[in-house]
Amino acid sequence: MTFALLCAVTLGGLAWWVMTPRERTRLRQTAEATLQQAAAAASVLRRRPEPLAEMLRGRTPVPVVTPMLVAGYLAVYLGVLLSSDDAALVRWGASVGPLTTNGEWWRLLSSSFVHEGVLHLVVNLVALISVGLVLERLAGSVGFAAVYLAAALMGGVAGLASSPVTVVAGGSAAIFGLYGFALASWAWGTAQQSTSTIRVSTVARLTPAAAAFVVYHTAGGGVPGPGDQMGIATGFACGLALARCLRLAKPPVRRIALTAAVTACLAIASAVPLRGLTDIRPEIERLVALDGKHAGAYKRAVAEFTRGTVTRLELVELIEGTILRELEAPKERLRTFDRVPPEHRPLIAAAEHYLKLREEGWRVRLSGLRASSTQILRAADELEQAALTALHSIDH
């Protein structure tokens, strides 16, 4: 690029040098006239009313919902940033199956305000502002809010169904929904040959932010995730229902309410099969704590046994009357878990394997104590190590 520019400047200077004074004067006059004509044309274009811009200013002079969404994004991100711990996203409203499906359904919407990092936030904000300021003024604040919430809700349900135990955060599904709504508006405007809805020039202005948004959210797998796909499908469907009249006026409240009601019914019908998912991770944490409690109690008892303050029978009673009894409770709880997400089913099997090894190890140790057999106690140590290895693999 630099070389081409240098060549152009050199050739231009050479041409100017070989020209006669009369030719130079004529060239200068031609250039001045061309610049004046271009300036006049630009001035006319600036004064010429753009149909969509004129209509937007008259229909919704001051957008309200888009600035509120931006403020919500920033406020929640600041809260997550100040929390600075692993559970901050969930505490501030991110969606995760075992919580969302056990009464915290509001997370399907609140998760759209939670972002995982500054780049995630900035990409979504730029996309939201660029498309939101156009669509809100075109469809009105009520219609715009309805489409955003519908896409966020349906996208949240789809993301929950596809990854029940994954923490879902970010407004991408809702923003994809807005792009779906813009696409439907453009399609209606093209079919109706309207100059006062989304046009090619409007799409061109939205393209840079949309391209950055799509690239960011498809960088991992090349296609949007299930939640984002559902979001854009929901937005497009809402657009087909609401955008038909946009060339004349904002969609009527009755139609917006009907569209929102249909979306809510679909979301509820899709969410019902997901309700009551069990989170196995707290049970794993209880197993780790219980193992530490048992190991500590036995270690202290053995230390007292070596000092002669505890008898062999008391060691036997500790294992038989306390440790083995307390291992029965987690075994029973594992049998009652019937709504475990597919991703957690291997954890159930691994926990059951650990409990089997741990119980067998304690029973072998019990036999070794009763028989005063060092060989049997060594076998118990091997079983204990195998059980601890199994527990460590579950916990990590």
Same domain for 212 and 142: yes
Going from the C-alpha of 67 to that of each of 74, 153, 176, the distances in angstroms are 11, 20, 18
Same domain for 97 and 215: yes
Report the share of the chain in percent with pLDDT over 90. Answer: 30
Q: Has residue 54 got a pLDDT over 70?
A: no
> CB-based contacts of 52: which residues, under 8 Å, 6+ apart?
195, 196, 197, 198, 199, 201, 202
Each residue's pLDDT tens digit, 92-119: 999 988 889 888 999 999 999 999 888 9
> 212, 239, 274: which is the final residue of a domain?
274
Each residue's pLDDT tens digit, 365-393: 989 888 888 899 899 889 888 888 887 87
Quick one: pLDDT at residue 338? Answer: 76
> What is the C-alpha radius of gyration for the chain, rounded to an integer number of angstroms?
34
Q: Range with the lowest mean pLDDT among 130-134, 156-160, 188-192?
A: 188-192
Same domain for 225 and 167: yes
Global pTM value: 0.71
Same domain for 188 and 88: yes
Q: Can you give the residue range of the structural domain that contains 9?
A: 2-48
> CB-based contacts of 123: which residues, under 8 Å, 6+ apart?
212, 213, 216, 217
Same domain for 304 and 185: no
Helices (H) and strands (E) in the chain, counts: 18, 0
User: Number of structural domains, the chain?
Assistant: 3
Q: Range with the lowest mean pLDDT among 134-138, 277-281, 392-396?
A: 392-396
CATH code of the domain containing 227: 1.20.1540.10
Each residue's pLDDT tens digit, 257-315: 999 999 999 999 998 888 888 878 788 888 889 888 998 999 999 999 888 888 888 99
DSSP notation for 135-200: HHHHHHHHHHHHHHHHHHHHHHHHHHHH-TTS-B--SHHHHHHHHHHHHHHHHHHHHTT-SSSS-H
> 222, 242, 274: which is the final residue of a domain?
274
Quick one: pLDDT at residue 70? Answer: 94
Same domain for 239 and 291: no
Same domain for 147 and 134: yes
Quick one: pLDDT at residue 153? Answer: 95
Same domain for 248 and 137: yes
Same domain for 139 and 6: no
> 48, 64, 84: which is the final residue of a domain?
48
Residue 343 gets which letter from DSSP? G
User: Cα 205 vs. chain centroid, distance in angstroms?
Assistant: 26
Q: Range with the lowest mean pLDDT among 181-185, 218-222, 342-346?
A: 218-222
Quick one: pLDDT at residue 197? Answer: 66
Quick one: pLDDT at residue 23? Answer: 57
Same domain for 68 and 15: no
Same domain for 267 and 171: yes
Same domain for 327 and 390: yes
Q: Has residue 332 got a pLDDT over 50?
A: yes
Q: Has residue 342 got a pLDDT over 80?
A: no
